[in-house]
Copies of this chain bind each other. A is one copy, B any other.
């Protein structure tokens, strides 16, 4: 553990005391978001010390011109990246003629941040002594409305403690911002129009190239000790891309000067381009009518609704409780599933890193969380996101030489186009296509809703099957189909042949797609006619898929009785991680890339990822053998690694090991294990933490339309509980040391299987097992 300044608390993230070198980390940890926008916990009043400024609007991105050392044919020319959006939170504060700036104050006392996850707000407070001798207390509260997702609310209070004060608030909206990670130091925003009145200001700006048009707005109200004041703005500073209003509030010692600022964005994705200011005015009008307290109440209610469904409780370990809630909170801040154009960025609204927003993380790690904790439309939206980008996936495959409607989904994307440019990943980490197909199967397995497949999913499956069919090569030497030159989930191997996981999921895709084509043909004739017309899918083609699947090659070691991660794996020097000198870790910081590549060390589950997805294809003994062969070479240097291992260790009854893996994910960011939280939080791996509890400790599975559980509890805990939204009913599972209790909110009794035995749970009745 590298940092432990976050106070343990079941429902809040709390920091106490001001340390300049924690500012960037806390800016990440205290980020807020509402699925449509979000921002880092930057100080409203500005800060001249080290800070990483970031506001983001979901779906608003920029294709930055690619910059690489050596160009490889096929690289995307542009790299769509998360865009730093205009700033609406800024409020410069002048107190008795001095600008408030925590980097320059004489003293900062009682500095405290709280991110209240239960109610969805962020509060920062401190006392400070200015250079002019004025002592003040500041309280800044902020939340992004779930109810109206274009709206954010700030309540900023200044109370002079030792003398009267003339407080000037200078709230602003500013589109003159840049990205820290811009490749060519270009500006991404073009300012178009500004408008302002006594209380309000608007800056309309448009992104270059992508032409997203955004009105950033604010509305200000002033109070003295809770009593609203008339507004008399001082000098207004109006530039091309920034408007700053100014208001003075004179307060006596102990009196509160308060600015309430409503702000946010209206975006051309959701409004007519010429109506953005009008739409913003409407948002302001409604919000101003309600007022701060009403808006805050609605916020609490909305978050209560989310927690009602998604909460996991842990008794006996407050840090574990805080950790899992932080993960669930961040996932919900990032993506709420209302809009099929959006997806789950690896940093959410907490940083710029990793460029695009969508990785295979969504299908492999996030989908189960959203399926279990939201209604099924949310999961459907995640699937539809890929369906809507199928044309681009086909284009992407064409760029790489595939034909006839073969689809290769990008490794990283925003709008369906590839936005990654390491050849060994971009072109070769093709197993992502498998996860996208698997998610379609997984959705049906969990929800029982087959309709998605004839409606949309089958077209995606056809594109993916076509890709695998072409990507496999017939090896005359082996008389088998091989898949050459790939990077598996373990990115510590590049350009290998016959990565078992890739070959396995490729075969599965071919078989599953063939099956689904036949099923839709038989059972959904009109859908099939449309799909056939659109894709030209043919029976001869299906038979080719089956032929390739039937003759797929899998590297296997007779000596060890395990499938090999790839051809030649046994040529490596097989020294276990536990026998490595600790000074060599983490490998990705200590070893040069070539050394990592020729070592046996595994970054994240690879063969075992296949055993996770296709658990029911293997016996427990087979899992154990593979787990015992591969885990000792695994360094878990990806945030996505420990969860899969935790689930499998739990399945194998190794609770201590399972718990150890669990710990590595649940407080990854809060404790800043990798010393990088200042760049943002690891949003997608947070879903893995949720899986570790529900699928790992809880043993939740769906088999043949029935929920299964095999609950286990870590020694360190007294009890834990979670809920599963299963086909329209909500099942609560409360695991105690003494046994497990099930309760059902719904209308129909539900049979579940607990440790292999049927249990009938009736609505409203608690069943203990």
Contact = CB atoms under 8 A, between A and B. Distances in A.
A728 interface: no
A429 to B, nearest CB: 10
A96 interface: no
B571 A399 contact: no
Nearest to A573: B473
A484 interface: yes
Contacts of A427: 592-594
A406 to B, nearest CB: 13
Contact of A568 (B421, B423, B567, B570): B567
Contact of A401 (B73, B475, B595): B595
Interface stretch (A62-70, A437-445, A759-767): A62-70
Interface string A367-410: 00000000000000000000000000000000111000000000
Interface string A55-76: 0000000000011111011100
A399 B590 CA distance: 10
A424 B495 CA distance: 10
A703 to B, nearest CB: 37
Contact of A570 (B66, B68, B428, B476): B476
A79 B484 CA distance: 33
A472 to B, nearest CB: 10
A340 interface: no
A177 B573 CA distance: 52
A571 B69 contact: no
A570 B423 contact: no
A494 interface: yes
Interface string A587-620: 0111111111110000000000000000000000
A316 B139 CA distance: 93
A399 B572 contact: no
Interface in A546-584: 559, 567-568, 570-574
B570 A475 contact: yes
Contacts of A484: 568, 571-572, 597-598
Contacts of A223: none
Given A73-B592, A74-B592, A422-B69, A571 B497 contact: yes
A99 to B, nearest CB: 34
Given A74-B592, A494-B495, A567-B568, A598 B68 contact: no
Nearest to A473: B573
Given A69-B422, A73-B593, A598 B567 contact: no
Contact of A66 (B69, B423, B595): B69
A594 B400 contact: yes
Interface residues of A, number: 49
Nearest to A478: B571
A619 B568 CA distance: 31
Given A400-B594, A594-B400, A594-B485, A589 B495 contact: no
A482 interface: yes
Nearest to A72: B593
B69 A497 contact: no
A570 B590 CA distance: 36
Contact of A69 (B68, B473, B559, B589): B68
A591 to B, nearest CB: 6
Contacts of A78: none
A15 to B, nearest CB: 31
Interface in A305-359: none
A262 B192 CA distance: 57
Contacts of A494: 494-495
B591 A401 contact: yes
A717 interface: no
A598 B568 contact: no
A411 to B, nearest CB: 12
Residue in A474, A496, A597 with the greatest tally of chain B CB atoms within 10 Å? A597
Contact of A591 (B73, B497, B559, B574): B73
Contacts of A596: 73
Contacts of A72: 592-593
11 contacts: A73-B591, A73-B596, A74-B591, A74-B592, A74-B594, A401-B595, A427-B594, A477-B559, A484-B597, A485-B594, A497-B571
Given A66-B69, A74-B594, A473-B571, 11 more contacts: A69-B421, A72-B593, A73-B589, A401-B592, A427-B593, A476-B570, A477-B559, A477-B571, A482-B571, A484-B571, A485-B598
- 5 A-B pairs with least C-beta separation: A74-B592, A427-B594, A68-B69, A485-B598, A477-B570
Interface of A: 66-70, 72-74, 399-401, 421-424, 427-428, 473-478, 482, 484-485, 494-497, 559, 567-568, 570-574, 588-598
